[in-house]
Structure 1
Amino acid sequence: MSNDRIQYFVERFTGSRREVIELWLNRSRRYLGMIRETLRKHGLPEDLAFTAMIESGFNPVAVSRGGAKGLWQFMAKTARNYGLRVDRWVDERLDPEKSTVAAAAYFRDLYKQFGSWFLAQAAYNAGEVKVARAIKLTRTTDFWELARSRHLRAETKDFVPAIQAVTLIGRDPDRYGFEVAAYESPRFETIRVPPSTDLRQLSRSAGLPLAALQRWNPELWRSMTPPGSFYDLKVPEASKEGVGLAILAGKASVGRGVISKAKRVHIVRQNETIRGIATRYGLSVKDLVRWNDLASGDRIRPGDRIRVINVPASATNKNEQAWVR
């Protein structure tokens, strides 16, 4: 990788941008192991991990002016195409593990389309259509030739060599004079919690800082689990017992306007529709139809009872104990 543009970015990142790059390198220690393992499992080059450094500086809650979010800066449409949940309750673009799996799948598809990792990274930035159009107009699949043409944006032309530069630095920070602290990844446990669990109330009941729950579950951007189904919540390993006891004691109260234990059924009123009921409770039409054994064309009538939470009305102690695992 002796390309002059890569060398330009190496000099910039070790010079005027050194402080920022050192911050990013230290932040990367929390995620690099997980990202590399995910890429390995998908049969992809581990150095693709450094794409996230240029995309977000390894900030899992980064948000761009255009609305892209997370480590991998997914737009909502692309995120949904790759299996991430993005709705009024959950934004899995902010979940480092799930968004990394989605990014790996996206890179795999881009490589299949273009047959080059440089082109795949260019398409990750600019979109497949723009890169395919540039290839057609220039009649070359060499990224560096494309970068010398006028058919790619300056941002995309710089995106690829910038990634290669931080990859060189990230492989051997000491060589470039960066101080990167050792990092021991904190351990977490997963607890299954009821629908509409309020993280604020849970933190008070369990004696756990709200910031800790939000840090482990950044996808819950409203600090509340979704209504309609149980949710696997991440908690610090040392706090699992306290959180579990708070849940079992029913101390994680739900917020207003969402489903409580006492209300698992909605009584249909005049002129209500399945879509309107789903919107009211923050659910999907598909879930309501499935939970209530409705066909897509079935009509609902005033007085009909519509289940709005996917758990039995007579939950037993065994069910409740299953919230903690």
Structure 2
Amino acid sequence: MKRIIQILLILLLALPKVKAGNIDFYQQQDPALNDTTTEDKKKEDELIDEVIKTKAAPTKEKVEYFSQVTKYGFKNLFSKYSYNPTLSYSSQVNPSANLFIQDYMKAHGTYLTKMKGWGQPYFNLIENILVQYGLPRELKYIAVIESNLSTGATSYKGAGGPWQFMPYTARDYGLVVNGYYDERRDYFKSTHAASRYLLTLYRQLHDWLLVMAAYNGGPGRVYSAIKKSGSRNFWELQYYLPEESRTYVKRFIATHFIMEGGGGVTTSVNPNSGNGLVDINGGANPFDNKPQLTAEELETTSTQTISGKYNSLIIAKNLAMDIIQFNRFNPEFDNMMVNNGNYDLRLPQDKMQLFLTNKYSILNECVQVLLGDADIQNNQTFYPEVKKEKAPAPKKKKG
């Protein structure tokens, strides 16, 4: 009998342990992922802490490391950890997402399909920043769910900007938010802050679907769902999350499908083009696109062939033009610059004159944003405090 008890004790001691508080389910769930997700966890945590502390994008070597680590965060969504645009979407995505995707397409497909066109400059800018932190490009769709890419978006709780930061969170990640300035509305600075925040959440959860649930409802609710369900798989713990948070995750999946898997910019090919070009407008060759302008507009515009790493958002900002107006004069500008290297820029004559006067400084700013110049990232803007003048003391009435 004593021998049997000894054997049972040995077997119990040999079972994998579950850590209290920070529950570690990696060994129980997927032994095949042990080497890739937990081997360098300490190193990963230290590097992420460094990024958060310095409030700057990591060096090239660290970016490459993050890129390898964070791709496994989609292990519960895509069968090969990341989306492959050359394969059918349904063969890669978790089957649990299919029904929700179809319903979401019926309700929001038309609007999101239009956003593929006018939102491309924003997506390009966000992607350029995400890759500087070694983050998956798919995360750009969080800004779609949060704000429809609007810098002016404000929630009833006080969250603001394209990434919908609360003021205290924004300040924690290096943004200035006070009565005079609100950098949550700055696309460039807020996306850098969002990248650092997403890395922080990934350090805690190591799964992008759980990170999105935490982005919506806070990490505490996600940890509670993990504890109650005994799993770190979103599809197994989703009903232990608040309904808003689990729906938020599914909205991300459906948005990604509509943008990329349902005839989006990375998957559709125009069979009539004869050159295998990626179809950016759901069937039209982008090199054939011409601006739809009135005769009066055509008479008052100027055209100039340009080449270089220009970005439409930066040009529009420097010319004080609305990005929608710029895109109407210059359809598919960003895609043409990437694929062809040059573009026949068309602008109203006064805007063209302004562009030609400042073209080199504009190009320099575009290149810095594209490359994530260290000076730009490290130079946090400090604004002087505005001292309020004291109101003059009321004059005493004479006797």
Query: Which amino acid in 1 is paired with 2:259?
Result: G
| SS, match of residue 14 in structure 1 | helix
| 1:80-119 CA distance string (max 9 Å, x none) | 1111111112111111111111111001010001111111
Structure 2 gaps, min length 5: 1-76, 78-92, 269-279, 290-310, 327-350, 359-384, 390-399
Q: CA RMSD in A?
A: 3.4
CA shift, 1:240, in A, is 6.9
1:37 aligns with 128
| SS, match of residue 188 in structure 1 | helix
Distance 1:158 1:190 in 2: 35
Q: Is the 8 A contact 2:113 2:259 kept in 1?
A: no
Please give the residue correspondences for 1:161-240 in structure 2 after superposition, counting only pairs within 5 Å: 161-174=250-263, 179=281, 185-188=312-315, 239=354
| SS, match of residue 174 in structure 1 | coil
Query: Which amino acid in 2 is paired with 1:78?
Result: T
Q: Is the 8 A contact 2:112 2:259 kept in 1?
A: no
| 1:233-282 CA distance string (max 9 Å, x none) | xxx88537989xxxxxxxxxxxxxxxxxxxxxxxxxxxxxxxxx95417x
Seen in structure 2, the aligned counterparts of structure 1 residues 21 and 242 have a Cα distance that, compared at 3 Å, is same
Seen in structure 2, the aligned counterparts of structure 1 residues 212 and 10 have a Cα distance that, compared at 3 Å, is closer
Query: Which amino acid in 1 is paired with 2:246?
Result: K
Q: TM-score, normalised by structure 2?
A: 0.46
CA shift, 1:17, in A, is 2.1
Distance 2:126 2:352 in 1: 21
* Among 235, 242, 252, the residue aligned to 1:153: 242
Query: Which amino acid in 1 is paired with 2:171?
Result: R
CA shift, 1:190, in A, is 8.7
Structure 1 gaps, min length 5: 192-207, 217-235, 244-276, 282-325
2:197 aligns with 106
Q: Is the 8 A contact 1:68 1:74 kept in 2?
A: yes
1:142 aligns with 233
Q: Is the 8 A contact 2:112 2:258 kept in 1?
A: no
CA shift, 1:155, in A, is 0.8
Distance 2:182 2:224 in 1: 32
Give the length in aligned residue pairs: 209
Seen in structure 2, the aligned counterparts of structure 1 residues 9 and 179 have a Cα distance that, compared at 3 Å, is farther
Distance 2:352 2:236 in 1: 51
What is the identity percentage for the equivalent residue pairs of Structure 1 and Structure 2?
31
Q: Of Structure 1 and Structure 2, which has the larger fraction of its residues in helix? A: 2
Distance 1:123 1:142 in 2: 14
Query: Which amino acid in 2 is paired with 1:75?
Result: M
Q: Is the 8 A contact 2:202 2:211 kept in 1?
A: yes
Query: Which amino acid in 1 is paired with 2:163?
Result: W
Distance 2:353 2:234 in 1: 49
Seen in structure 2, the aligned counterparts of structure 1 residues 161 and 187 have a Cα distance that, compared at 3 Å, is same
Distance 1:19 1:104 in 2: 29
Seen in structure 2, the aligned counterparts of structure 1 residues 12 and 166 have a Cα distance that, compared at 3 Å, is same
Q: Is the 8 A contact 1:189 1:237 kept in 2?
A: no
